[in-house]
Chain A
């Protein structure tokens, strides 16, 4: 069941996320495509992608089996959006040709701090009046 149209109608459209930055464009192979796709996965609470927020620590893809492996962290150990973020990642990555399965490992070291947000992520937040 896809409730996205209902959410968009009720909550309004989210501001569009910027395209992946140059350094992501240069990543090779299926892992590179997976990285770029993660710039399209929005944090549920902030107008940023999870990649710009600094939640993605590692992405590898086995091109033979189609298994994508991600190391992911969260802003807090009790982040209420953990499940939503993982669901959104799976949904987006499985749209990529060649990716058949997703394995996500949650890591906590080094701990997430605001310094993990990308430079352009800070600028986006600044545009919404949020200093990071």
Chain B
């Protein structure tokens, strides 16, 4: 497999595509950080609030690393950071607005945060070498996010009403998460897979299912949805029928919408950016 040491080693179209995928990851990291921060105050316990604070910081740190890579992909960091409107963001609809309840946040923690980690995982194993170096620290920090998600899922499943609430919360974002890896002929991912930068969508999706499937299965979610199943060896695998209505492969999300007004202002730092001398 050819190894790529810098963006300039990539064919131009693929450089653009990889930059686009990285921008989607960076936007999702930044928005997910905001979603965790929404619950620093108001989490079920002080410890849970502190965990949200730590995870929020981590996500912003990860976003910062990925945004900083994008200048090598012909993006203007200032334009990306401060000057985009909502419809220019490539974040999933699941982080457009605040998670309304604690189980909704844990669903994001379990399903969406893991989806992003799995995408970084496979990029770190792919043929674009700068991502190997940048991803290791990020993935080290993400282990604790998954621990947090599984721990809280168990806790909610044993509490009164928690299991149904978590199942409902996971169900609400399940389709957005499972389809994020793309269709089999995804126009962004397939050419990158041809170069060994990432695996095929079904492979990445299967890796995500292997992580979240056991918890989703306990909730009765995966099996009931008919979208995933456990094979004879107990591996979680994708079934062919996913729901693609409204999906935009270029925006890596539902076609319409974007971060809500408050989230957008926070992402861009609108309110206080004027106070920063070098902004």
Chain A residues in the interface with B (C-beta under 8 A):
73, 76-80, 107-112
Contacts and interface: CB of A to CB of B under 8 A. Distances in A.
Interface residues of B, number: 16
B169 to A, nearest CB: 26
A76 B136 contact: no
18 contacts: A76-B57, A77-B58, A77-B61, A77-B65, A77-B141, A78-B58, A78-B61, A78-B62, A80-B57, A108-B65, A108-B133, A108-B136, A108-B137, A109-B132, A109-B134, A110-B136, A111-B137, A112-B137
A99 to B, nearest CB: 23
Contacts of B65: 77, 108
Contact of A108 (B59, B60, B134): B134
Contacts of A110: 136
Contacts of A112: 137
B133 A107 contact: yes
A73 B141 CA distance: 15
A77 to B, nearest CB: 3
Contacts of B134: 108-109
Nearest to B58: A78
Contacts of B148: none
Nearest to A111: B137
Given A108-B138, A111-B140, A77 B64 contact: yes
Q: Tell me if B's interface is mostly helix, strand, loop or mixed.
A: helix
B128 to A, nearest CB: 14
Nearest to B33: A78
A77 B66 CA distance: 11
A76 B145 CA distance: 14
Contacts of B141: 76-77
B267 to A, nearest CB: 15
A112 B133 CA distance: 12
A76 to B, nearest CB: 6
Interface string B39-75: 0000000000000000001111110110000000000
A8 to B, nearest CB: 25
Nearest to A109: B133
B160 to A, nearest CB: 35
Contacts of B57: 76, 78, 80
Nearest to B62: A77
Contacts of B140: 111
Contacts of A78: 57-62, 64
A49 to B, nearest CB: 21
Nearest to A79: B61
A125 B229 CA distance: 51
5 closest residue pairs by CB, A with B: A78-B61, A77-B61, A78-B57, A109-B133, A111-B137
Contacts of B136: 108-111
Given A76-B58, A108-B137, 5 more contacts: A77-B62, A77-B137, A78-B58, A78-B62, A109-B136
A51 B59 CA distance: 27
Nearest to A113: B140
Contacts of A80: 57
A109 B136 CA distance: 7
Contacts of B133: 107-109
